Structure 1
Amino acid sequence: MSHKGYDLIFPTVIGHHMREDLIQPVTKILQEVPITEGWDAISTKNDKILDNYVRLKKTFTDEVQSFLKDIMKYDCDLQMTTSWFTKVNKNEKLHAHDHNNSWYSACFYIQEDCQLKFETRASQIYVHPTEETLYNSLGVTYNPEPGSILIFPSKTMHLIVQHNWNSARYSLAFNFMPKGKVGMHDSSYEY
């Protein structure tokens, strides 16, 4: 065969930042959330949990904004619209979902064994590959270390893999929107 090469177009870029210094302050907030009235199934009822922690909210926003500016080349201000904790008990998982009414999302991990799987839809005609690679896979599982921040487009389907540890699995999630004017000409909008 005379393969000349190949191109990777329209990729889904997952950002990975590391902030171990934020584990302790986030864990402290988690411990302050009332267990009986603060949780709705697997997440905190308050979906703006970081609004009371302005410095921490700014720190996470700055991390996501730096990824968007340095890697994705989007130079715009950013605003965190929602933030909440998720909790998954032993043998539980969270179904595949995306985040509507949001541009980018991120998750911060404070402990080990917090697998997150990103998925895409199969093409209309699915042929099973002989070997699964990043180029043909329908899903990629991340096993982030404590202190990791995963950043991804909000439209990306993702799920929490079944949690097998005896203790509950916690993570902090957030959604972001651009702040200010975006778009061009007749397709512009001010957030």
Structure 2
Amino acid sequence: MSAGAWRKARWPRAVRARLGVLSVFIALQAVAVAFFIGDVVVDIMVDSMSGSLVQHTVIEAIATLALLMGVSLGAYEIWQTLARTRRAERALQLASGAFSDLVRQRFDFWGLTDAEREVALLTLKGFDAPEIGRLRQVANGTVRAQLARIYAKSESNGRGQFVSLFLDDLLETPLQEAR
């Protein structure tokens, strides 16, 4: 992910808050690294005047290098995680769009009316007949009659089989890819 894409990313508030906290910690760690590097440089200069490198300075230099590597690798991993998250979100958007296309194509193929399309979509979303009736402000009998026509046109014998017509398509690709 480029710096421009990073700035344009529209992360949810919770993600932005976590990124803010992580950024603060990384900045504090970077300040600590700078401090320890300065301290090691001063210690080396003092040790060189005495003609020997003190064991404490060597250990401090190694610890500073480890801290620098930890901060660098941590920042890199956060950056990579954000890039993977962005790619996953994009893939989810594409899949959602593909599912919407599939639903539209099936509804067209079955020749569903606008009212039947609405009822079928609400059924796919998990609403039952009384809920659909309340949402659409129609009688339960009307919804049941529309559902019966939808099931007949889709050649399914009820709600479960109707929903499974769409789930089968969603599950088919990953199963084939896993083989």
Structure with max Cα Rg:
2
TM-score range, shorter chain: under 0.3
TM-score of the two chains, using structure 1 as the length reference: 0.21
TM-score of the two chains, using structure 2 as the length reference: 0.22
Bigger relative contact order, structure 1 or 2 (CA pairs below 8 A, ≥6 apart):
1
Greater share of strand residues, 1 or 2?
1
